[in-house]
Structure 1
Amino acid sequence: MDGLAAALALLAAVLFAVASAVQQRSAADVPDARGGRLVLALARSPRWWAGTLCDTAGFAAQAAALGLGSLLLVQPLLVTTLLVALPLGARWGGRRLRRADWVWAALLVLALAVFAVVGEPTAGVDRVGWRPWLPAWVGLGVLVGGCLAAAAVRRGTARAVLLAVAAGVAYGVGAALTKGVVSLIDDGLPVLLTSWETWLLAAAMGGGTLLQQSAYQSGALEASLPAVTVGEPVVAVALGVGVLGERLRADGVEWALVGVLVVVMAVATVALARTAARGAAPVPG
């Protein structure tokens, strides 16, 4: 089951990468639109719909993977999106990625992959009641609110990164909720449609999509994609451990290695964001 879950997660990563590159180009073509106007403008773009189709297929593959494996296994693998989306976005945007970009992207992916192997993630529960979620909702709500407040007074790369962080949080919450929603499918459509997880998942994914499109509109793909790609698994893994009871089976020296890997992931993410800020041309907004 874990092998199939990993394969589906990698398929989802490729589909998300193509969708990200295509949707960023579409959003950058309407720099003056905001909120609902942005959605209406994008809805008239065949290219954006092609990206949305890839995005939907990616989510289906991700949901199937989460139905078979834990958040601690599936979500880190989605960071391989960077290996496809960054060079694709740079090529379409007429930019050249530097050697340092490749090195940091490779380190980020390697650290996440080793984290998944060394930690030997174990599954928790698919669903819990709404009360165990409350502390997480409060903390993540404060984080998203701070990002949105700061993004409202920024432009260019800074705005793109802030919106991307908020989108990553929304997608991370959505990933954690997906496990519960997938587990309800066998109970029938009425149960699925009356579950609070289903509607909260729809809100998280819808809000994440709007934030992601706004981030793509505000700056180059290299500025926003690392934050979304890394933010989603970080939030999802935290919720998997803190809310759904998933665990790592590391012990002794392995815990030290896990700590090092977390530091490497953080440094690589910051390096990618700084590289993007130096090399990406802001989209007027």
Structure 2
Amino acid sequence: MIGLDERADAAVLFALAAAVFIAIGDVIHQRQAQDVTDESVGHLALFKQLLRNRRWWLGSVVAAGGFAFQAAALGLGSVLLVQAVLVTSLLFALPINARVSHRPVTRWQWTWAALLAAAVVVIVTVGNPTAGHSRASLEVWTEVLLVLGPALVLCVIGAGIWKGPASAVLLAVVSGALWGVFAVLTKGVVDQLDDGALALLRTPELYAWAAVGVAGTAWQQSSFRAGTITASLPTMTVAEPVVASALGVVVLGETLRPGEAGWLTLAVAVAVMVVATAALARGEAAATDQPLTQH
């Protein structure tokens, strides 16, 4: 039998591997979403064009490897733990994107990115998360849909009204939230793997998991198309663990136990997370105006 500590350590290692693969996939996807066409296209038309792009599929294969590692991590640890580690994908994505786009990562970008990652990790680690269930009832998921659905629809509408960095951020919220739901559904799907293929095919989470994955990918590409990676990826990086962690508590019954002193630390970490995300998103406009460095 594997002890709880060993399972948590293995979950962290798998989540770190997932963060690296997902970062590489995100950078490839962002560049292809920007380069696939010079015309102004809608969300569905963009996704259709990307489906015919070989480099986009390369990014999808790499990202799929990240999702496999994420699933392995969720099979061993709580959603709260795994999603906290996955936020480090931003720290991998920034230098990779700088390399392929021939733009340096500025000191302030590194500072805010590090603060962002540290804040989200603190929120979870100080919270002392405990594992809950792997699955939830249809009634619970219906309540989640009634709350989360309208909020995401408003974000999509807002993204159509405001262009540029604001649009990228709003679409990133939609994508990040969907990936947060995807993570929680993944835990339910992984839980059914030991019962065989037939049991898995009878699991409602499997089909919701596939649909949410496609939707998350589509909105992610639209967000990447709307602005540079410094606007979209930080927002996704925050939205996914926040939504996943909230659902881990509400849907799966995971709990936080920070203690009396820990609540103040959590409040500070949340404030830092919000400020760091806003700072990175504001830098998007300046990044788009900088000429590419020729090598």
TM bracket, shorter-chain basis = over 0.9
Q: Return the letter of the residue paired with 1:261.
A: A
| 2:88 matches 1:80 | yes
In structure 1, C-alpha distance between the alignment counterparts of 2:178 and 2:276, rounded to whole Å: 22
Q: In the alignment, which of 126, 142, 152 is matched to residue 134 of structure 1?
A: 142
SS at match of 1:201: helix
Residue 123 (structure 1) aligns with: 131
Q: Return the letter of the residue paired with 2:13.
A: A
| 2:11 matches 1:5 | yes
Residue 37 (structure 1) aligns with: 45
In structure 1, C-alpha distance between the alignment counterparts of 2:182 and 2:237, rounded to whole Å: 14
SS at match of 1:119: coil
In structure 2, C-alpha distance between the alignment counterparts of 1:281 and 1:64, rounded to whole Å: 41
Query: Would the aligned equivalents of 1:31 and 1:218 in 2 still touch at CA under 8 Å?
Result: no
Query: Would the aligned equivalents of 2:43 and 2:219 in 1 still touch at CA under 8 Å?
Result: no
Query: Would the aligned equivalents of 1:240 and 1:246 in 2 still touch at CA under 8 Å?
Result: yes
Q: Runs of 5+ in structure 2 lacking a partner? A: 1-6, 291-295
Q: Return the letter of the residue paired with 1:185.
A: L
Q: Runs of 5+ in structure 1 lacking a partner? A: none
Q: In the alignment, which of 247, 260, 263 is matched to residue 239 of structure 1?
A: 247
Residue 274 (structure 1) aligns with: 282
Larger CA deviation: 30-39 vs 175-184: 30-39
Larger CA deviation: 179-188 vs 152-161: 152-161
| 2:117 matches 1:109 | yes
What is the 5 A alignment of 1:1-285? Answer: 1-29=7-35, 30-32=37-39, 33-281=41-289
CA-to-partner distance for each residue in 1:91-113, whole Å, 9 max, x for gaps?
A: 32333332111111011111222
Q: CA deviation at 1:56?
A: 0.3
In structure 2, C-alpha distance between the alignment counterparts of 1:115 and 1:156, rounded to whole Å: 30
Give the root-mean-square deviation of aligned CA atoms. Answer: 1.6
Query: Would the aligned equivalents of 1:111 and 1:265 in 2 still touch at CA under 8 Å?
Result: yes
Query: Would the aligned equivalents of 2:165 and 2:282 in 1 still touch at CA under 8 Å?
Result: no
Q: Return the letter of the residue paired with 2:281.
A: A
Structure 1 residue runs of 4 or more that deviate by more than 4 Å after TM superposition? none
Q: CA deviation at 1:140?
A: 1.0
Aligned length: 282
TM-score by length of 2: 0.91
TM-score by length of 1: 0.94
SS at match of 1:252: helix
Query: Would the aligned equivalents of 2:78 and 2:132 in 1 still touch at CA under 8 Å?
Result: yes
In structure 1, C-alpha distance between the alignment counterparts of 2:278 and 2:51, rounded to whole Å: 33
Larger CA deviation: 59-68 vs 38-47: 38-47
Larger CA deviation: 160-169 vs 29-38: 29-38
In structure 2, C-alpha distance between the alignment counterparts of 1:20 and 1:132, rounded to whole Å: 31
